[in-house]
Structure 1
Amino acid sequence: MRILASSDIHSPKWTGKFLISLKRKIVDGGFDLFVLAGDLAERGGYKHLYPIYEELKDRRCVAVFGNEDFRNFRERYKEEYPSFTWLDDSSEVFRIGTKRVLVVGSEGVLQRPTRFQRLLGIDESYFKKRMERIDELLCEEADFRILVTHYASSLETVLGEKESIYPYLGYPLVEKVRCAPDIAIHGHAHFAKRTLYFNGKTKVYNVALPANQDVVKIDVPNIVTDSNDRDEREKEVK
Structure 2
Amino acid sequence: MLSESIEGVEVEILAFSDVHTPRYLPLLIKSIQDLKEKNFDVVMMAGDLVDRSNVEEFSKLLEVLKSNIKYKYIVAVFGNEEYREKEEEFKESYPEVRWLNDEYLVLKLNKGCLGVVGSRGSLLRPTSWQRKNLPGIAEEYKRKPEVIRQLIKEVKKECPNVVYLSHYAPTWKTLVGESRHIWPYLGDPRIEKVLKEEGVHVAIHGHVHRGRVSYVHTSTLTIYNVALPARGNVTIVKMALQLTI
The reply to whether TM is greater than 0.5 is: yes
Moved more, 132-141 or 101-110: 132-141
Q: Of the candidates 155, 167, 180, which is equivalent to residue 172 of structure 2?
A: 155
Q: Residue in 1 aligned with 2:103? A: 90
Q: Residue in 2 aligned with 1:145? A: 162
Q: Of the candidates 176, 184, 190, which is equivalent to residue 194 of structure 2?
A: 176
Query: CA-atom RMSD, angstroms?
Result: 1.7
Per-residue deviation at 1:131?
A: 2.0
Per-residue deviation at 1:219?
A: 1.4
Kindly indicate whether the alpha-carbon contact (under 8 Å) linking 1:189 and 1:206 is maintained by their aligned counterparts in 2: yes
Q: Tell me the percent identity.
A: 35
Compared CA separation, residues 167 and 22, structure 1 to 2 (3 A) = same
What is the 5 A alignment of 1:74-153?
A: 74-119=87-132, 120-140=134-154, 141=156, 142-153=159-170
The answer for unaligned runs of 5 or more in structure 1 is 225-238
The answer for unaligned runs of 5 or more in structure 2 is 1-10
Query: 2:35, 2:94 → 1: CA distance?
Result: 22
Matched, 1:4 2:18: no
What is the 5 A alignment of 1:1-238?
A: 1-27=11-37, 29-56=38-65, 59-119=72-132, 120-140=134-154, 141=156, 142-172=159-189, 173-177=191-195, 178-222=197-241
TM-score normalised by length of structure 1: 0.88
Structure showing greater relative contact order (alpha-carbon pairs closer than 8 Å, 6 or more residues apart): 2
Query: 1:66, 1:200 → 2: CA distance?
Result: 28
Query: 1:143, 1:26 → 2: CA distance?
Result: 30
How far does the alpha carbon of each residue in 1:134-177 deviate from its partner, in whole angstroms, 9 at most, with x for none?
11011232221100000001110111100000000001112234
Kindly indicate whether the alpha-carbon contact (under 8 Å) linking 2:161 and 2:241 is maintained by their aligned counterparts in 1: no
Compared CA separation, residues 223 and 12, structure 1 to 2 (3 A) = farther
Query: 2:83, 2:116 → 1: CA distance?
Result: 23
Compared CA separation, residues 115 and 150, structure 1 to 2 (3 A) = same
Q: Residue in 1 aligned with 2:3? A: none
Kindly indicate whether the alpha-carbon contact (under 8 Å) linking 2:55 and 2:90 is maintained by their aligned counterparts in 1: yes
Given residue 139 of structure 1, which amino acid in structure 2 is its aligned partner? Answer: K
Kindly indicate whether the alpha-carbon contact (under 8 Å) linking 1:108 and 1:150 is maintained by their aligned counterparts in 2: yes
Indicate the structure with greater strand content: 2
TM-score normalised by length of structure 2: 0.86
Kindly indicate whether the alpha-carbon contact (under 8 Å) linking 2:169 and 2:207 is maintained by their aligned counterparts in 1: yes
